[in-house]
Amino acid sequence: MADTVPHLRTEALAALAEAADDAALATWHVRYLGRKEGRLTGVLRGLAQLPVEERRAVGAAANALKAELEAAYEEQREALRRMAVRQALEGGSVDVTLPPRPRARGRLHPVTQTLRQMLDAFRSMGFSIVEGPEVELDYYNFEALRIPADHPARDMWDTLWVDDGTPRPRSLLMRTHTSPAQIRVMEQHQPPIRIVVPGRAYRHEATDTTHEWMMTQVEVLAVDEGLTLAHLKGTLLGVMQRLFGSERRIRLQCSYFPFVEPGAEVAMDCFNCAGTGCATCHQSGWIEMGGAGMVHPEILERMGIDPARYTGFAAGMGLERLAMQLYGVPDMRFFYQNDLRMLQQF
Ligand code: DAH
């Protein structure tokens, strides 16, 4: 038996040197060191049968061999791994001089980029950002904004009604503008109020290059003592100058919205031609931004805000038109077709 250990050593090391791949290596491990049938394991198990005087010497030799074989096995495995890498490199299958593959990077939608710039500008002027629901009650979207059911002003907003199972007329709708958030805020807060409401609005529109059934708006509302049209104009001008350059000017033109008095359309001189007329502004020199005005005193009163003491200004701006002009996008529908060839340009 004492003789078997050196013998086994020679045999095992020779066999290990022959093991040229992972499978051969695994077979070798089972044959010599395997827990069940391994040859060396057999020797160790047989120790009990040996006479005491032999047992110690053979046991020591067998254990030493076990350690030696385990180490040799690890070494061989590492050698095979290195060889495989070297072969792959020499075989040219990995060209380490190639540039890495470009990583696909997500990016922000152009409308989101415009929105974030605008919100940053308002925030820097002390406005807080709040949101309102996209599925809205007739009350907030129309009634409370002084647009009763039979009022012709409802024609300004082609409405998508939500079928909630109740008989017509329905009371749930997709909000047609972000203005209902003004009411929700004034219900909850007393002046001073300074908020902006970004969000989506929906209209039952026939779509074309400048109309979509979904759009992004930013609503502005400020209520405080002594606010005038000049504050409205100054605020909008400040924001637009921050976004489009300090030489920008804005224009208010008389208009009608039931929830403001006076009401106005807001436009900014074209950042491309500075008002002389070009393709960006369709030769008009101006870029339409949205509506604005002084909050109707009747609304303040209904919200429990004393109109003799407080005044407010409000505005609602459409982001898509602005983004179209900012980025030179010729068709509003391009924004939401999710065509990567379009979106990857921003
Ligand atoms: N909500 C109006 C719309 O979408 C725009 C608007 C006009 C908002 C006047 C305002 C405002 O806050 O004062 O057509």
Where exactly are the structural domains of the chain?
A: 4-91, 110-343
Q: Which atom of ligand 1 is nearest to the CA of 295?
A: 13
- Ligand 1 lined by 177 (C-beta under 6 Å): yes
pLDDT band for position 331 (cuts 50, 70, 90): confident
Name the closest-CA residue to atom 7, ligand 1: 291
Quote the percentage of the chain above a pLDDT of 90.
53
Does pLDDT of 232 surpass 60? yes
pLDDT band for position 326 (cuts 50, 70, 90): confident
Q: Which atom of ligand 1 is nearest to the CA of 259?
A: 13
pLDDT score of 279: 78
- Ligand 1 lined by 260 (C-beta under 6 Å): yes
Q: Which atom of ligand 1 is nearest to the CA of 176?
A: 4
pLDDT score of 312: 98
Does pLDDT of 38 surpass 60? yes
pLDDT band for position 57 (cuts 50, 70, 90): confident
Q: Which atom of ligand 1 is nearest to the CA of 201?
A: 4
Beta-sheet strand order (sheet of 193-202): 128-129, 193-202, 214-225, 310-318, 286-295, 260-269, 250-255
In this structure, the number of other CB atoms found within 10 A of the CB of residue 81 comes to 11
Residues 224-243 have a mean pLDDT of 96
- Ligand 1 lined by 314 (C-beta under 6 Å): yes
Tell me the C-alpha distance between 183 and 179, whole Å. Answer: 8
Q: In this predicted structure, which of 109-123, 142-156, 234-248, 301-315 has the lowest mean pLDDT?
A: 142-156
Pocket test for ligand 1, best of 179, 288, 313 (most atoms within 8 A of CB): 179
Distance 290 CA to ligand 1 centre (A): 7
Residue 158: phi and psi, rounded to 5, are -75, 115
Distance 292 CA to ligand 1 centre (A): 6
pLDDT score of 97: 87
Active site residues: 157, 177, 203, 217, 260, 314
Name the closest-CA residue to atom 11, ligand 1: 292
Quote the percentage of the chain above a pLDDT of 70.
99
Question: Which residues, at least 6 apart from 21, have a Cβ–Cβ distance to it below 8 Å?
Answer: 80
pLDDT in tens, 78-136: 999 998 888 877 876 677 888 988 888 888 999 999 999 999 999 999 999 999 999 99
**pTM over the 0.75 mark:** no
pLDDT score of 235: 97
Distance 315 CA to ligand 1 centre (A): 6
Pocket test for ligand 1, best of 177, 196, 229, 266 (most atoms within 8 A of CB): 177
> What CA–CA distances, in Å, run from 12 to 34, 41, 276?
13, 13, 92
Domain 110-343 homologous superfamily, CATH: Bira Bifunctional Protein; Domain 2 (3.30.930.10)
pLDDT score of 3: 60
- Ligand 1 lined by 290 (C-beta under 6 Å): yes
